[in-house]
């Protein structure tokens, strides 16, 4: 049987400047050590290899194998995959024994920090980061139970990426679990490095107007989802947990609500429902009343609205679309600008721009008030992906209101409800208020 060498591995990584191959002499024996210095702290990792062997007077193969885990099968492809996974490979030249050693890693991930996209008033301030093992550890801190099961998958044909499925065996619906596991096992060749590819893996429709999953940075949110019978997916290098399936109730409930007395919890969730309805209805209601059904208003209010729009040269629908476009641009700018200046620049710009368009008689002052309330209300919804759905549906109601008035707005609400009633995620209806638990 030929003795294993690392020549083919060296040829494979010959164009990689971070590849390291080193021959170490210990006790009269030669050990070939190789790995990627971009993933491994090489000096400290070599110290971990040398120290135990130098503690003995003579070198033995058994001691060498005991430092790590033997590679089976010990071939070039296996060694290359282990190196790419950040392992340190050590080969005893005389015997051909090859082991992988867990090295001292390079600090490539952020430390556990506070959430960047979600605020938490009274709960834990820890947030997920890009390291999948750290994320699983944070989840275990919140769920100290042997019922927490974690399935490991390596997805992708060109670039392998780690995907972990987490669930509580006693709470998850067996049908849901079987659907998720069968999908993951049958799609192992599919690349999964972002949420669009995850949606493609689960065959979610590209034309879906609601999010089929809930992404969160908060470990306590993921833990609550598992207790409620849902599944949580972690993807390597994605700094949040993906909760499946997403239900309409996720739009209004957070784990932080449970840190308040029940009365305040009900009030907070009621406010979020009112905020979602206001975001959905207010722009269309303004256009319907101003353009089509002014007769539903009392004379004094109708007169006030007419005075505010006296010199505005556009129909109400054009006026609303103009200002909505400006608001959408401001909200996008808040996300893209550096956090140190983004909120200040967009706030000042919004105030100056709003004052200017009113002074120029391009929009009415009442519309400024309505859309400011809509913008604030939209922020009360839990999950930024859920706010996108409401922002989209409000345009449907806006156009129907411009065409048919209040009747069109009510028809739009019925259309939205009919659409939501037909949405299912992995066999679970979107309008189901609570995920059924398993036996």
**How do residues 60-72 score in pLDDT, each as one tens digit?**
788 888 888 888 7
Task: Please identify, among 200, 226, 246, the residue that sits at the C-terminal boundary of a domain.
Answer: 246
Structure confidence at residue 350 (pLDDT): 73
Q: In the prediction, which pLDDT does 159 show?
A: 81
For the chain, what percent of residues have pLDDT higher than 70? 97
Contact 127, 261 (CB under 8 A): no
Phi, psi (rounded to 5 degrees) for 177: -60, -45
For residue range 294-339, list pLDDT tens digits in order: 888 888 888 888 888 888 888 889 989 988 988 888 888 877 777 7
| Confidence band for 224, pLDDT divided at 50, 70 and 90 | very high
Share of the chain above pLDDT 90, in %: 28
Angle between helices 132-142 and 219-227 (to 10 degrees): 60
In a domain, 439, yes or no: no
Per-residue pLDDT reduced to its tens digit, 75-107:
888 888 888 888 999 988 888 888 898 888 887
In a domain, 224, yes or no: yes
Mode of pairing for the β-strands spanning 88-92 and 428-429 = unpaired
Same domain, 211 and 145: yes
* Burial (CB count within 10 angstroms: exposed 0-12, middle 13-18, buried 19+), residue 433: exposed
Domain extent at residue 24: 2-101
7 — pLDDT class (breaks 50, 70, 90)? confident
pLDDT band at 1 (very low <50, low <70, confident <90, very high): very low
Is the pLDDT at 136 greater than 60? The verdict is yes
| Residue 113, in any domain of the structure | no
Same domain, 280 and 392: yes
As a whole number of angstroms, the distance between CA 189 and CA 368 comes to: 51
Mean pLDDT of 113-120: 81
**pLDDT per residue over 373-408, tens digit each?**
998 898 888 888 888 899 899 999 999 999 999 999
Q: Are residues 266 and 371 in the same domain?
A: yes
On whether both 189 and 273 belong to a single domain, the answer is no
Number of domains in the chain: 3
- Evaluate whether residue 118 is within a structural domain: no
For residue 24, give the nearest of 14, 16, 32, 36 by alpha carbon. 32
Same domain, 93 and 137: no
Smallest CA-to-CA distance from 184 within 167, 168, 201 is with 201
CA distances from 158 to 189, 193, 200, 230, 315 (A): 8, 12, 17, 30, 54
Domain boundary residue, one of 101, 124, 140: 101
The per-residue pLDDT for 144 is 83
Note whether 185 and 272 are same-domain residues: no
Whether 320 is in a domain gets the answer yes
* The pLDDT of residue 287: 92
In terms of Cβ atoms closer than 10 Å to its own Cβ (0-12, 13-18, 19+), residue 319 is buried
Residues 240, 279, single domain; the answer is no
Lowest mean pLDDT among 36-40, 161-165, 211-215, 356-360: 356-360
Residue 222 lies in a domain: yes
Average pLDDT over residues 348-369: 80
The distance of Cα 119 from the centroid of its chain, to the nearest Å, equals 15
The domain boundary residue, chosen from 205, 222, 246? 246
Same domain, yes or no, for 394 and 301? yes
Give CA–CA dist 188/181, Å, rounded.
11
State whether 145 and 28 are in the same domain.
Answer: no
pLDDT at 435: 60
Q: Which tens digits make up the pLDDT trace of 241-259?
A: 999 999 998 899 888 888 8
> Do both 180 and 309 map to the same domain?
no
Q: Is the domain of 197 the same as that of 315?
A: no
Task: Kindly state the tokens that stand for 262.
Answer: 């029940």
Count of CA atoms in the C-beta half-sphere (13 A) of 194: 1
388 part of a folded domain = yes
A 10 A CB-CB count for 329 gives: 14
Specify if 287 maps to a domain: yes
As a whole number of angstroms, the distance between CA 37 and CA 332 comes to 39
Tokens of 372: 């400011």
Note whether 411 and 337 are same-domain residues: yes
Phi then psi for residue 69, to 5 deg, are -125, 125
């Amino acid at each position: 049987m030929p003795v294993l060498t690392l020549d083919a591995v060296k040829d494979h990584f010959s164009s990689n400047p971070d590849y390291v191959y080193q021959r170490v002499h210990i006790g009269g024996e030669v050990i070939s050590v190789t790995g990627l210095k971009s993933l491994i702290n090489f000096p400290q990792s070599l110290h971990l290899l040398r120290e135990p062997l130098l503690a003995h007077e003579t070198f033995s193969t058994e001691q060498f194998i005991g430092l790590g885990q033997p590679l089976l099968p010990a071939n070039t492809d296996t060694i290359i995959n282990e190196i790419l996974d950040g392992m340190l490979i050590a080969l005893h030249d005389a015997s051909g024994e090859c082991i992988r050693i867990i090295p001292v890693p390079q600090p490539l991930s952020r430390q556990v920090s506070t959430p960047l996209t979600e605020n938490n008033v009274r709960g834990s301030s820890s947030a997920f980061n890009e390291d999948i093992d750290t994320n699983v550890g944070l989840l275990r801190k919140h769920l100290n139970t042997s019922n927490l099961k974690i399935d490991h998958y390596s997805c992708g044909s060109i670039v392998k990426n780690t995907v972990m499925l987490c669930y509580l065996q006693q709470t998850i619906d067996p049908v849901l679990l079987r659907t998720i596991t069968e999908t993951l096992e049958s799609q192992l060749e599919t690349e999964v490095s972002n949420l669009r590819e995850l949606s493609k893996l689960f065959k979610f429709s590209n034309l879906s107007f609601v999010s089929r999953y809930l992404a969160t940075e908060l470990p306590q949110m993921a833990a609550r989802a598992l207790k409620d019978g849902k599944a949580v997916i972690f993807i390597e290098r994605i700094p949040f947990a993906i909760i499946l399936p997403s239900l309409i109730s996720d739009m209004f409930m957070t784990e932080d609500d449970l840190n308040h007395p029940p009365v305040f919890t009900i009030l907070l969730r009621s406010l979020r429902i009112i905020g979602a309805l206001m975001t959905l209805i207010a722009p269309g209601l303004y256009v319907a009343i101003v353009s089509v059904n002014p007769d539903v208003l009392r004379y004094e209010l109708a007169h006030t609205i007419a005075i505010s729009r006296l010199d505005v040269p556009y129909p109400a629908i054009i006026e609303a679309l103009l200002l909505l476009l400006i608001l959408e641009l401001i909200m996008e700018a808040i996300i893209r600008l550096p956090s140190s200046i983004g909120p200040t620049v967009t706030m000042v710009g919004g105030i100056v721009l709003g004052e200017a368009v009113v002074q120029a008689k391009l929009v009415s002052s009442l519309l400024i008030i309505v859309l400011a309330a809509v913008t604030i209300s939209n922020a009360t919804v839990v999950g930024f992906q859920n706010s996108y759905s409401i922002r989209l549906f409000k345009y449907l109601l806006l156009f129907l209101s411009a065409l048919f008035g209040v009747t069109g707005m009510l028809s739009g609400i019925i259309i939205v409800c009919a659409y939501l009633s037909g949405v299912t995620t992995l066999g679970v209806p979107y309008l189901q208020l609570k995920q059924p638990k398993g036996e």
